[in-house]
């Protein structure tokens, strides 16, 4: 079976770290590059985090710096991941440099090489993806699908209406959802179910490797931040859910929907409006994840971590 060609677009971020580890080692994926965007922290920090993760885990995949701010709105950063974006994780300095090519140009270049073969997996704000579509619209000819972590049909996590990744750059998200490309939205309706309960954490700890220890340390720090936010029994691994779906679509239950993004500045700014029943009179333009097969998700992750 041929490997799936993917670009992982990240803004590390504790859960981005696990998404990188999963994408880099699962044999089903051909990770062509890691592109980085501002989101959970500023671009300088998210790029350094990506490089440090790759150095610590021995991942030999090029890392590209992308957009440092949203298309139109003021920059927003997360508080959940701390001042560094990876608070609580002890990583040394990176042993490699970021690539000279801009992430947007790398996405365009890779899409030109493919014919409906490239899958984009953005798990941060969609600024890099939207800018690539704006700069070279013909890349749609090379992209098979966009599987994004972001959005919510129910309540958001940064405002009552909006999920963080979409809220950071709603205009970019609207460009992606209206691109005409197949889009799968892996949002909070599904990812909030991916809680790392103690038995899962113990499975990761039991691997006993340098990388598994990094994941455990990360989940303990990330989990403390989640507990401070409310009644959570552990951290939530949003971003790896999107990677897992590309590896094995049966990991997630999805429903077809028309999805658009609210770009008017107000209480619902950044909301993903989901219509499963054509109430708005518009055909579906996306699949929306609504449920998770927990066993498959954790088995995929454990398998990948055991490869390090």
Active site residues: 11
Count the Cβ atoms, other than its own, within 10 Å of residue 170. Answer: 26
The alpha carbon of residue 140 and the mean position of all alpha carbons in its chain are separated, in whole angstroms, by 20
Q: Beta strand pairing status for 286-292 and 183-186? A: parallel
Count the Cβ atoms, other than its own, within 10 Å of residue 160. Answer: 10
Q: Alpha-carbon Rg of the chain, whole angstroms? A: 18
Q: By three-state DSSP, how is residue 161 classified?
A: coil
User: 262 has which bridge partners?
Assistant: none
Q: Give the Cα separation of 266 and 191 in Å (integer).
A: 26
Distances (CA, A) of 129 to 26, 145, 251: 23, 12, 24
User: Residue 227 phi/psi, 5° resolution?
Assistant: -65, -35
Q: Check: CB of residue 98 under 8 Å from CB of residue 63.
A: yes
Q: Beta strand pairing status for 183-186 and 252-261? A: unpaired
Q: Give the Cα separation of 126 and 121 in Å (integer).
A: 10
């Amino acid at each position: 079976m041929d490997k799936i060609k993917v670009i992982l677009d990240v803004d590390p971020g504790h859960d981005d770290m696990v998404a990188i580890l999963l994408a880099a080692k699962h044999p089903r994926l051909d990770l062509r590059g890691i592109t980085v965007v501002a989101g959970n922290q500023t671009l300088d920090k998210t790029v350094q985090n990506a490089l440090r993760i790759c150095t610590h885990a021995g991942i030999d995949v090029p890392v590209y710096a992308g957009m440092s701010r949203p298309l139109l709105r003021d920059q927003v950063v997360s508080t959940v991941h701390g001042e560094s974006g990876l608070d609580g994780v002890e990583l040394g300095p990176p042993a490699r440099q970021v690539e000279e090519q801009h992430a947007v140009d790398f996405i365009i270049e890779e899409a030109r090489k493919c014919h409906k073969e490239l899958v984009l997996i953005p798990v941060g704000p969609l600024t890099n993806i939207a800018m690539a579509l704006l700069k070279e619209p013909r890349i749609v000819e090379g992209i098979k699908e966009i599987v994004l972590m972001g959005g919510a049909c129910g309540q958001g996590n940064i405002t009552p209406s909006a999920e963080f990744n979409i809220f950071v750059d709603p205009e970019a998200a609207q460009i992606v959802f209206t691109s005409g490309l197949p889009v799968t939205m892996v949002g909070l309706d599904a990812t909030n179910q991916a809680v790392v309960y103690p038995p899962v954490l113990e499975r990761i700890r039991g691997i006993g490797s340098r990388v598994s220890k990094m994941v455990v340390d990360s989940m303990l720090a990330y989990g403390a931040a989640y507990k401070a936010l409310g009644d959570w029994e552990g951290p939530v691994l949003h971003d790896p859910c999107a990677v897992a779906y590309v590896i094995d679509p049966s990991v997630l239950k999805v429903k077809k929907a028309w999805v658009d993004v609210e770009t008017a500045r107000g209480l619902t700014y950044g909301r993903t409006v989901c219509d499963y029943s054509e109430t708005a009179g518009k055909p579906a333009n996306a699949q929306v994840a609504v449920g998770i097969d927990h066993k498959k998700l954790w088995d995929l992750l454990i398998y990948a971590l055991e490869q390090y």
